[in-house]
């Protein structure tokens, strides 16, 4: 067994590439999860809260600074120090760690004054008063020694211990260090004892009795979900499926780890148990500017003061329509609604009226509508008439021949082609969209672009502006209101007028909704338009997404799991792959990854980012991924997730039966 544990610990050393940083652990010590991880700027507030009250203990040891205690222990000072530590690590002069216990910071451990030629370095450690004298520090030190004398290939370590500090002396003595002599006036402060340890003298058992952490050992890893789980059970009593959107369901998350959220701010959300998470996916991609974005909230508050819903159109409808059409030059008219399904179903009805045909060709993309014309073509189609199911056919993205075949098979009965111009997984190949446009024109069918996701993520003007192909109709929603409910159908005037009063043709019941023109969401939309015209949210998302993808994929390569886990797609709309030991997409492994990310403060079924995500958010996420991938790789080596996964795997949202997550 000791040999197996040593092998696992060698593998557990998670490199951060050129930065010279690593993560060590986690291990279980007296039921606590102990880990050494690199410091990041986002630790500033937590570090300051931990250190500041311990002035009497720590200031004498840190007296080599001229700064006062409050300044030295401020969040700003931590960020400066963190940057300095990471620079030293990159230069190979230091190896800094935070000691964490159940994901919370408990102290620091630093391998300093590294001299690789001589094979020497100095160890510095401090632990919070609440943890001092416990086995936590000993476990952390043993993890460091194992790495320093192993992967790091050092030959001699020293430690300077304040004279009279019996606790520190006992700690290093138990780890095998021996007292060498006295350092008088060390670092301008006081007398210290010099202790040292040679690699050849390291005790063989130094890490053999530290159990590797697994999901079965420490459910939740310090992040409790007791209140969320209770609320989720109550939701299942009150709401079918326990959520108002299938993609938000508890079956899409690890069991008993589905947070019930209470608020959000920027890129962060908080759940009913007080846990804070960096959120990805951001309201099923509906939030691009961040939660609680002030200009949108201010616009909404002004609208609320003037009234929300009236019996006649408002001036705001004129302004919102003008704003929309100024963004989408390929559209002549627009009509607002609430949900994306409202818009796409109206587009289908309009296309059928304009062409006199019934059939619809949809691309093999995940979702277009909650209405029968689309749901009849998915696995979860109970309640949809058989005749309706046969009216929708599918074709493959980036495969013109598959669409050409559908037109040939359906004998002039296809009213329209519905598709996203691009997806998170795939860009259109050269000539593909142009070919779709040409096929629609040749067969008398309308081309409908679903811009729910691409609108305000690819461009404020939609994917049609990015790729230069104009659809006949386009459907919008998601990020239009930065989370407020608003969607839109836009298109050619001659088509849109079929639902109006300026046509001689039979009128189409296009869209007629009570809440479509309510002022709150229209005001939110106008504020979003201002944000996109006065700043560059998409540019921010592209940059942050690129940093995130590069960090995630670098971590996967360094751990040897790049064939199994990857961040892919457009930087503003990233998703992640999770494959099993045979390289197949895997729900169990997806669940394991979600579980480990939740434990490390990251919530999301994707890596879809917002303009509110910061560099620190990305750093935290990449670090969480590194740590999660260590567990992931162990599962791969085990040949399955059983030893690491708590509960049942997630299941596809639109499946025909409640199993395998039936309650």
Spatial contact of 602 and 277, defined as CB atoms under 8 Å apart: yes
pLDDT attached to residue 66: 73
pLDDT digits (tens, 9 = 90+) for 313-364: 999 999 999 999 999 988 999 999 999 999 999 999 999 999 999 999 999 9
Spatial contact of 359 and 392, defined as CB atoms under 8 Å apart: yes
**What is the pLDDT confidence band of residue 1, given thresholds at 50, 70 and 90?**
very low
What's the chain's average pLDDT? 88
pLDDT digits (tens, 9 = 90+) for 25-41: 777 676 677 888 888 88
Domain boundaries, the chain: 2-206, 221-290+537-638, 309-517
Instruction: Using DSSP bridges, classify how beta strands 156-162 and 120-127 pair: parallel, antiparallel or unpaired.
Output: parallel
**What is the pLDDT confidence band of residue 223, given thresholds at 50, 70 and 90?**
low
Backbone angles phi, psi at 147, to 5 degrees: -75, -45
**What is the pLDDT confidence band of residue 189, given thresholds at 50, 70 and 90?**
low
Q: Tell me the average pLDDT across 246-265.
A: 92
545: its two tokens:
């997404």
Res 64 pLDDT > 90: no
Task: Choose the CATH number for 309-517 among 3.40.640.10, 3.90.1150.10, 3.40.50.300, 3.40.630.10.
Answer: 3.40.640.10
What number of helices (H) and strands (E) belong to the chain?
Answer: 22, 22
Largest Cα span, the chain: 101
Question: How does 303-313 read in b/e, with b if 16+ C-beta sit within 10 Å?
Answer: beeeeeeeeee
Provide the CATH number for the domain formed by 2-206 in this structure: 3.40.630.30
Q: Tell me the average pLDDT across 197-224.
A: 53
82: its two tokens:
């963190």
Res 162 pLDDT > 70: yes
Instruction: Answer positive or negative: Cα dihedral of 404, 405, 410, 416.
Output: negative
70: its two tokens:
């409050």
Residue 636 Cα distances to 214, 394, 631, angstroms? 14, 35, 9
Spatial contact of 473 and 347, defined as CB atoms under 8 Å apart: yes
Residue 57 Cα distances to 81, 186, 339, angstroms? 20, 17, 58
Q: Would you list the DSSP string of 29-76? A: ETTEEEEEE---GGGHHHHHHHHGGGHHHHTTTTTT--S-HHHHTSHH
With left for phi above 0 and alpha for psi between -120 and 50, is residue 601 left, alpha or beta? left
DSSP state of 256: T
Q: Is 96 helix (H, G, I), strand (E, B) or coil?
A: strand
**What is the pLDDT confidence band of residue 396, given thresholds at 50, 70 and 90?**
very high
Q: Is 550 helix (H, G, I), strand (E, B) or coil?
A: helix
Q: What number of other Cβ atoms are within 10 A of residue 652's Cβ? A: 14
CA distance 447 to 417: 5
User: 221-290+537-638 with 309-517: one CATH topology?
Assistant: no
Res 233 pLDDT > 80: yes
Spatial contact of 513 and 337, defined as CB atoms under 8 Å apart: yes
In this prediction the pTM is 0.70
Residues 6+ apart with CB under 8 A from 118: 155, 156
Spatial contact of 616 and 208, defined as CB atoms under 8 Å apart: no
**What is the pLDDT confidence band of residue 495, given thresholds at 50, 70 and 90?**
very high
CA distance 216 to 234: 26
567: its two tokens:
């961040």
Q: Is 81 helix (H, G, I), strand (E, B) or coil?
A: helix
pLDDT digits (tens, 9 = 90+) for 89-128: 888 899 999 998 877 899 999 999 999 889 999 999 988 8
pLDDT attached to residue 65: 67
Task: Choose the CATH number for 221-290+537-638 among 1.25.40.340, 3.10.200.10, 1.10.3720.10, 3.90.1150.10.
Answer: 3.90.1150.10
pLDDT digits (tens, 9 = 90+) for 397-421: 999 999 999 999 998 999 999 999 9
Helical segments of 175-310, H only: 226-238, 282-285, 294-306
Spatial contact of 94 and 88, defined as CB atoms under 8 Å apart: yes
**Averaging pLDDT over each range in 57-71, 291-305, 649-663, which range is the top one?**
291-305
Does residue 28 have a cis peptide bond before it, meaning omega lies within 30 degrees of 0? no
| Cα 439-442-446 angle, rounded to 5 deg | 70
CA distance 576 to 649: 17
62 versus 360: the higher-pLDDT residue is 360
pLDDT attached to residue 63: 60
């Amino acid at each position: 067994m000791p040999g197996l544990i040593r092998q696992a610990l060698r593998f557990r050393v998670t490199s951060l590439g050129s930065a010279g940083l690593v993560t060590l652990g986690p291990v279980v010590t007296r039921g606590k999860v102990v880990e050494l991880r690199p410091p990041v700027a986002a630790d500033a507030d937590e570090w300051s809260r931990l250190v500041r009250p311990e002035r009497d203990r720590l200031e004498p040891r840190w007296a080599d600074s001229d700064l006062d205690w409050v300044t030295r222990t401020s969040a700003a000072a931590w960020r400066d120090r963190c940057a300095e530590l990471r620079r030293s690590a990159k230069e190979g002069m230091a190896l800094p760690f935070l000691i964490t216990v159940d994901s919370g910071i408990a102290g620091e451990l630093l391998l300093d004054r590294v001299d690789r030629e001589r094979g020497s370095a100095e160890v510095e450690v401090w632990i919070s008063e609440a943890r001092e004298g416990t086995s936590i520090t000993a476990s952390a030190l043993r993890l460091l020694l194992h790495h320093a004398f192993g992967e790091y290939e050092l030959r001699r370590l020293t430690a300077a211990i304040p004279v009279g500090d019996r606790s520190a002396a006992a700690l290093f003595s138990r780890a095998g260090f021996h007292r060498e002599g006295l350092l008088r006036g060390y670092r301008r402060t006081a007398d210290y004892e010099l202790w040292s340890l040679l690699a050849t003298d390291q005790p063989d058992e130094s890490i053999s009795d530290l159990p590797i952490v697994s999901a079965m050992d420490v459910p939740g890893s310090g992040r409790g979900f007791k209140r969320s789980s209770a609320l989720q059970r109550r939701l299942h009593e009150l709401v079918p499926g326990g959520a108002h959107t299938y993609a938000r369901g508890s079956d899409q998350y690890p069991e008993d780890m589905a947070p019930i959220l209470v608020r959000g701010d920027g890129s962060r959300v908080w759940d009913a148990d007080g846990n804070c998470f960096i959120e990805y996916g951001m309201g099923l991609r509906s939030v691009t500017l961040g939660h609680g974005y002030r200009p949108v909230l201010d616009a909404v508050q002004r609208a609320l003061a003037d009234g929300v819903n009236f019996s006649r159109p408002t001036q705001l409808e004129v302004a919102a329509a003008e704003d929309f059409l100024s963004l989408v030059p390929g559209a002549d008219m627009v009509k607002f609604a609430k949900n994306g399904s409202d818009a796409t179903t109206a587009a289908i009805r309009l296309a059928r009226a304009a062409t006199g045909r019934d059939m619809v060709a949809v691309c093999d993309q995940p979702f277009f509508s909650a209405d029968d014309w689309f749901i009849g073509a998915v696995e979860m189609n109970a309640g949809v008439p058989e005749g309706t199911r046969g009216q929708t056919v599918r074709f493959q993205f980036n495969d013109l021949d598959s669409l050409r075949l559908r037109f040939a098979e359906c004998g002039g009965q296809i009213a329209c082609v519905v598709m996203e111009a691009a997806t998170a997984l795939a860009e259109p190949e050269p000539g593909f969209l142009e070919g779709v446009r040409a096929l629609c024109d040749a067969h008398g069918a309308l081309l409908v672009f679903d811009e729910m996701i691409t609108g305000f993520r690819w461009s404020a003007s939609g994917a049609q502006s990015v790729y230069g192909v104009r659809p006949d109709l386009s459907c919008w929603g998601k990020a239009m209101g930065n989370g407020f409910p608003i969607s839109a159908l836009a298109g050619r005037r001659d088509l849109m007028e079929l639902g109006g009063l300026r046509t001689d043709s039979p009128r189409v019941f296009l869209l007629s909704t009570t809440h479509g023109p309510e002022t709150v969401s229209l005001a939110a939309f106008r504020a979003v338009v201002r944000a996109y015209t006065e700043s560059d949210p998409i540019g921010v998302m592209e940059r942050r997404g690129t940093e995130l993808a590069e960090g995630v994929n670098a971590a996967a390569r360094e751990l040897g799991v790049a064939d199994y886990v990857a961040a892919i797609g457009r930087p503003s709309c990233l998703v992640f792959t999770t494959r099993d030991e045979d390289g197949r997409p895997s729900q169990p492994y997806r669940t394991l990854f979600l579980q480990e990310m939740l434990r490390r403060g990251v919530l999301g079924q994707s890596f879809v980012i917002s303009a509110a995500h910061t560099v620190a958010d990305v750093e935290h996420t990449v670090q969480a991924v590194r740590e999660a991938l260590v567990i992931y790789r162990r599962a791969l080596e085990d040949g399955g997730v059983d030893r690491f996964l708590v509960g049942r795997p997630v299941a596809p949202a639109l499946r025909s039966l409640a199993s395998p997550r039936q309650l």
